[in-house]
Structure 1
Amino acid sequence: MTSFFGSVFWLLVTLGVLVTFHEFGHYWVARRCGVKVLRFSVGFGNAIWKRIGRDGTEYCIAAIPLGGYVKMLDAREGEVDPALADQEFTGKPVWQRIAIVLAGPGFNLVFTVLALWLMFVLGKPDVAPVVTAAPHSLAAQAGVRPGDRLLKVDGKAVSAWSDAYESIAMATLGRGPLPLEVRDPDGGVRDLLLPLQQLPAGKAVDEYMDALGLDLNPPPPVAAVVTPGQPAALAGLRSGDRIVSVNGQAVADFDALNKLIPQEAARSPTLRIVVQRGGQTLPFTVQAHMASLQGQPEKWLIGVGPAEREPAVRRYGPLEAVGAALASTRDGVAAMLTMIGKLVTGEASTKNLSGVIGIAQAAQVSAQMGPAWFLSFLAQISLCLAVLNLLPIPVLDGGHLLYYLIELVKGSPVSERTMIIGQYIGLAVLFMLMGLAFYNDIHRTLLS
């Protein structure tokens, strides 16, 4: 339940910030163009807070926080006082109406750059892309070995696991051979080719990544942390002990240890653990106990922790961060357009669509990882809002932009009948996409 309320809270924070910024773009440019703004609303439905500004605009926060809008003086919505005719939206030149429409997505792009700039200045904590491959997986087939460090993905240098993961995940949508450059623990550099063409069609990206079998290399089975007062410490284990076996079963790495302890303790909490310490092999009897870590369900634990993975923090000075933020925004736009193109052509599955539930879950996870990660998440969602709002779908900003571009070409506005038909089509498309995204979210939640 705590996780649920946390997700809702961070979803509201995300939508509140990004919707306000988006609608402020429309509002600010409309005011610069001399259009009277009647209402600036964050959310839909009944207002839970409102006030009238000195400019006569009603500012309000509404009960349904899944969007927002700016209502301008518009002759299509009723009679306009002749005294205010020069402040009416449809009476403005078409280039001003285009500017007002573009301002919302434009401000989202600005927000993306600002969020990424601050993220790079703060430094985004990450880990080095030192990887392993699951046995018999496509990554193993390509020649990935435990301890390999990814240097380049498709010719692009990577220094952190999240960057490498994102590049590979996007490449799975194309399902074509993907070049990698790796360095093994001995310093040798090799060129590999991931056979993504062997991935089946019609799967979600996370399913492709599971099939690929590429993951971070697990830490060795060394008890880098031995918590005082816990079973391992009480039995005599010390920090730095290398765990060789549990109940006679060999331990290859710390991930294997985490699976083996609950498995063996479920049979009997008394565990026979053998460790290596300073050239000696020492046996211990450890009494495991049931406990919970960070709000997770209870499981059998002995109170040992692994060594931290090699850190990889991307941090720049204020000036360098500008270039990095702009480059990341450019790459993000390209990735979004690629994804949309593949969805339209059927190369990418609609299983990749995610909705409000997915955004809420991702918002909470990123917030828990720290300010830099949450800024990165906000930047991604803001970029999505910018690109998706520019799609030529009626009721979106891109649909209005399409109408105004047609008006520029034909020299007169699109007929009201055409606009009404377009709105119905646009609403149908949006509801279909929202329903599909919601179904995907529910499906993922039930399977997780």
Structure 2
Amino acid sequence: MGLIGSILVLSFLIFFHELGHFLAAKLFGVRVEAFSIGFGKTRIFKKQIGETEYSLRPIPLGGFVQLKGQSDIDPKLRNEDKDSLYGIAHWKRLVILAAGSFFNLLLAFLLFMAIGLMGKNELVPIVGKVQENMPAALAGLKSGDRILEIDGEKIVTWNALSSVIAESKGTLEIVFLRNNQEFITRITPKLGESKNLFGESIERPLVGISASGDVEIVSYSFLDSMLYAFRETKESSKLILQSIEKIFVGVVPLSEVGGVVSIVSITKKATELGIVTLFAFSALISVNLGILNLLPIPALDGGHIIFTLYEMVSKRIPTQETLYRLSMAGWIVLLGLMGLGFYNDILRIINGTMPF
């Protein structure tokens, strides 16, 4: 059931992405010729409704919306009819092209919001060890103190505490609980060396405390869950962009790039760990799909957005030959990345490190 569940989850994420393109195209009068979940020439199911053929195809890890006048394989098929993607105003085309990624980010937001309402296990902001001669110790914090507020901002998780300290610019007013009594102290973090998620040494504000390790189920009100969802979606997007940057500069080795096998495997594991874990991982994959589709690669939505912006600025349309060559180059890059991910997945399977 886990494998079937993982495929269904990924199919839904792709469906939601394509739904964004579909609805935006319909809004601006662009003809949608096909809406497919899955790839392949064979159609397991198909139904013609109006001008659109809806189909289900055998390769589930993908999908597409075919708009009139658009062809990623052969851009020479472009036309400028009034109901074509290239027959409408440039700004409308940009909305249609970006709508898929927007829907992925919207879905991630909704999933994170659901997590906030349901509640999830979180490290709570209870102080464990306090380093001597560091700002926290000098301010009187002790092991067992629970941080309640920092500069008027309510703190309910250790992650939130860590983020506020990392972004601090000066002295912080901290409200903490000790023996069921509230106390206030002021702490001025000092710069020190730490490690980021990619193992790099960085300089950041530190106060000299570590978490006690206590875990509680933390949930939020409706409004707070919206704020939580926005923050998580934003941070997930930043993390993906940083990961892409670190791959290009060599901090993250190419051997860490995963393919569809890794995604299915991890999603399968997430489905077995409960609804909250599944929602969290699905939200991350949805953000991933949204951000990666905006990369300026001609075969992706981001590439088409770049072409459209070029037309808007230069008032010229790239030659058909230029579009063709750039599209083919984009497909080579895209297929190369997919091949690298698949190759790494095979190595993980052979080495027994794939989490099936």
SS at match of 2:54: strand
- The answer to whether the 8 A contact 1:41-1:61 is kept is yes
Corresponding position of 1:74: 69
- The answer to whether the 8 A contact 2:257-2:344 is kept is yes
| Structure 1 pair 387–158 and aligned structure 2 pair: CA distance change class (3 A) | farther
1:33 shift after superposition: 0.7
Q: Which amino acid aligns with 1:425?
A: A
Cα displacement string for residues 72-120 of structure 1 (whole angstroms, at most 9, x for unaligned residues): 121767698xxx9321222112111111101110111111111111111
Q: Which amino acid aligns with 1:354?
A: G
- The answer to whether the 8 A contact 2:122-2:215 is kept is yes
Separation in 2, partners of 1:324, 1:447: 37
SS at match of 1:392: coil
SS at match of 2:57: strand
1:149 shift after superposition: 9.9
| Structure 1 pair 67–130 and aligned structure 2 pair: CA distance change class (3 A) | farther
Corresponding position of 2:9: 14
Corresponding position of 2:87: 91
Instruction: Say yes or no: does 1:442 pair with 2:343.
Output: no
| Structure 1 pair 414–110 and aligned structure 2 pair: CA distance change class (3 A) | same
Q: Which amino acid aligns with 1:101?
A: L
- The answer to whether the 8 A contact 2:6-2:271 is kept is no
Instruction: Say yes or no: does 1:373 pair with 2:282.
Output: no
SS at match of 1:109: helix
Q: Which amino acid aligns with 2:245?
A: G
Corresponding position of 1:409: 313
Match of 1:313 among 217, 231, 234: 217
Instruction: Say yes or no: does 1:106 pair with 2:102.
Output: yes
| Structure 1 pair 150–50 and aligned structure 2 pair: CA distance change class (3 A) | farther
Corresponding position of 1:430: 334
Separation in 2, partners of 1:422, 1:346: 25
- The answer to whether the 8 A contact 2:198-2:251 is kept is no
Separation in 1, partners of 2:77, 2:294: 27
TM-score (norm 1): 0.59
Instruction: Say yes or no: does 1:125 pair with 2:131.
Output: no
Instruction: Say yes or no: does 1:362 pair with 2:266.
Output: yes
1:337 shift after superposition: 1.5
Greater mean alpha carbon deviation, residues 393-402 or residues 411-420: 411-420
- The answer to whether the 8 A contact 2:108-2:283 is kept is yes
Corresponding position of 1:230: none
SS at match of 2:218: coil
Separation in 2, partners of 1:29, 1:397: 14
Separation in 1, partners of 2:9, 2:278: 9
Separation in 2, partners of 1:97, 1:430: 23
| Structure 1 pair 327–344 and aligned structure 2 pair: CA distance change class (3 A) | same
Instruction: Say yes or no: does 1:42 pair with 2:33.
Output: no
1:125 shift after superposition: 3.0
Corresponding position of 1:352: 256
- The answer to whether the 8 A contact 1:150-1:158 is kept is no
- The answer to whether the 8 A contact 2:20-2:102 is kept is yes
SS at match of 2:120: coil
TM-score (norm 2): 0.73
SS at match of 2:86: coil
SS at match of 1:85: coil
| Structure 1 pair 195–404 and aligned structure 2 pair: CA distance change class (3 A) | same
| Structure 1 pair 149–416 and aligned structure 2 pair: CA distance change class (3 A) | farther
What percent identity do the matched residue pairs reach? Answer: 31
- The answer to whether the 8 A contact 2:78-2:86 is kept is no
Structure possessing the higher relative contact order (Cα contacts under 8 Å, 6 or more residues apart): 2
Cα displacement string for residues 191-231 of structure 1 (whole angstroms, at most 9, x for unaligned residues): 9999667x9xxxx969x9xxxxxx999xxxxxxxxxxxxxx
Q: How does 1:113-192 map to 2 (within 5 A)?
A: 113-126=109-122
Separation in 2, partners of 1:86, 1:362: 44
- The answer to whether the 8 A contact 1:10-1:360 is kept is no
Q: Structure 2: which 5+ residue stretches go unaligned? A: 130-142, 148-152, 167-175, 180-186, 202-209
- The answer to whether the 8 A contact 1:40-1:71 is kept is yes
Q: Which amino acid aligns with 2:336?
A: M
Separation in 2, partners of 1:359, 1:335: 17
**Aligned-residue CA RMSD (Å):** 4.0
Corresponding position of 1:32: 27
Corresponding position of 1:331: 235
User: Number of residue pairs matched?
Assistant: 308
- The answer to whether the 8 A contact 1:160-1:312 is kept is no
Match of 2:53 among 47, 54, 58: 58
Separation in 1, partners of 2:125, 2:336: 38
Q: Which amino acid aligns with 1:37?
A: V
- The answer to whether the 8 A contact 1:23-1:68 is kept is yes
Greater mean alpha carbon deviation, residues 33-42 or residues 343-352: 343-352
- The answer to whether the 8 A contact 1:126-1:312 is kept is yes
Separation in 1, partners of 2:26, 2:290: 21
Q: Structure 1: which 5+ residue stretches go unaligned? A: 134-146, 172-182, 209-214, 218-308
- The answer to whether the 8 A contact 1:98-1:404 is kept is yes
